[in-house]
Each structure stands twice: as structure tokens, then as C-alpha cells.
Amino acid sequence: MNRTPNKAPKPSPAGEAVFPMRINKYLALQKYCTRREADTLIEKGLVSINGRPAVLGDKVQEKDKVEVKWRQTKYRYFAYYKPRGIITHSAQESEEEIKEILPIEGVFPVGRLDKDSYGLIILTDDGRITDPLLNPEYAHEKEYEVMTTEVLPNNFKAKMEKGIDIGGYVTKPCKVQILGERKFSITLTEGKKHQIRRMCGFFGLATSHLKRTRIMNIQLAGLKSGESRPISGTELDTFLQSLGF
């Protein structure tokens, strides 16, 4: 497959299109592949700049003609219900990591859910989507259902939505829906470490259950703990388009 990126990449929160730029960054900003994948293609002689083979470290100008010859990879995407008690990344001794129980080979989880949280996580073999999905500057929505051990105060919704100081950082505005005297849903566009638990802690509340139910347009829906389903069709098209692919 011979593909020519035919227009300069647009500036993005993850990196600006400032020329000259390294060829691997150029291809990554084009959302053609990751920088690491670009380096592999260059080493295999599958990338050319103005008709000559590219080499690692080459830089391109805005008007350069960049061509890539390779067979397009067919990536896979799955919605997965991470069970409670499972570590997403970097498990310590005696802990069980998600990769040990994944029902599908050759994929990895994008992002994290802490050990005591559970619910939706995206599994894929497409490294391109990691930054546009996780970088908070893109403001993609993630929705959670939360149970607390104490009754929610009257001012809970208003204060949470406005932003909470969780220790030197004020959270971005969010959406909160009260579902019961100790239950609510929250939609965030960022993901600080233990953010929801720390936001609840501002009110002196502890969380007993924290489940992620949605990432952008991908819903946990009828999945049970440990189950997965392919993301395909219109659902996948909408998801990838929202990420810029």
C-alpha cells in the first residue's frame, strides 16, 4: 500500500506542527501511526521524502512530499469490564494484573482504573489512540457511577460541578447527577489520580463503589465483570472520528 500524507498536520494539544520537524513526529501528527511505528517503517525503507528513502532523524519541511509504503494494519478494539481488585498496570507482588486475565491476546488496556474501581476500559492493539484518548486537553468524556458510605450533602452537586480543590489542584467543571442519597453519576473530561475519591474526600465522604460506565460514545451496557465485546460498525466509526482518525 502506497499512501502519501498530502497535507501538513494541524496543531494539536499533544504537539504543534512547527517545521522543520522529525519525520516520525510528522507521521504521528498525521495520525498515520505512532512515532515508534514510524521509526520501524523508516528502518524497513518504507518511507520516502521527496522520492528518496528516509532515514531515522530526518526532518521534513511543510512542502515536502512524504510517502509511506506498507500494508495497512487492521486494528482491533474491545470494550472490557475490568473486575474489581485487578491492577491495570504495574502490579506489585501478590497483586493480579489485567494482562494476566485478558480474554483476548495481543491487546492492551488504554488508561487505568485503580484496583478498587471497576467497569469499562478500552482494549486495543492500536497505539495511536493512547494520547488522543487520555490527554485531558482533548476533553473526552468519561462517566462513572459512585456509591458513598455517607449521605451526600445538599451542596454536593453544585460544588462538584464547579470544581473541587483536591490538594493544590482545582478540578475542571464536570456534570453530576444525583441518583440516591448515597449514589451519584459524574462525567469528567480529565483523569487525575484517584480524582473522584479525592473529590468526595473534600466533603468527608468515602466511596464504597466506583464503576466507569462510559468512555466517549462507548458504553459498558450489558457487559458483566470480566466480559468483553468488539467495538465495530457505527460505534467504532464515531469513536475513531472523535479521536481524529
Reply yes or no on whether 58 is catalytic: no
Average pLDDT over residues 33-40: 85
Segments forming the whole domain that contains residue 9? 2-69
Residue of 179 and 94 predicted with greater confidence: 179
169's grid cell: 489542584
* Per-residue pLDDT at 80: 96
User: In terms of domains, do 211 and 242 share one?
Assistant: no
Q: Which of 114, 125, 165, 237 is catalytic?
A: 114
* Per-residue pLDDT at 97: 85
23 in Cβ contact with 49 (< 8 Å) = yes
First to last CA, the chain: 18
Q: How many domains does the chain fold into?
A: 3
pLDDT at 3 over 80: no
pTM for this one?
0.76
Torsions phi, psi for 176 (to 5 deg): -130, 135
**CATH for 122:** 3.30.70.580
**CATH for 177:** 3.30.70.1560
**CATH for 26:** 3.10.290.10
pLDDT at 6 over 50: no
* Per-residue pLDDT at 136: 85
User: In terms of domains, do 124 and 227 share one?
Assistant: yes
Give the closest residue to 204 by CA, choosing from 155, 238, 168, 237. Answer: 155
Q: Is residue 135 part of a domain?
A: no
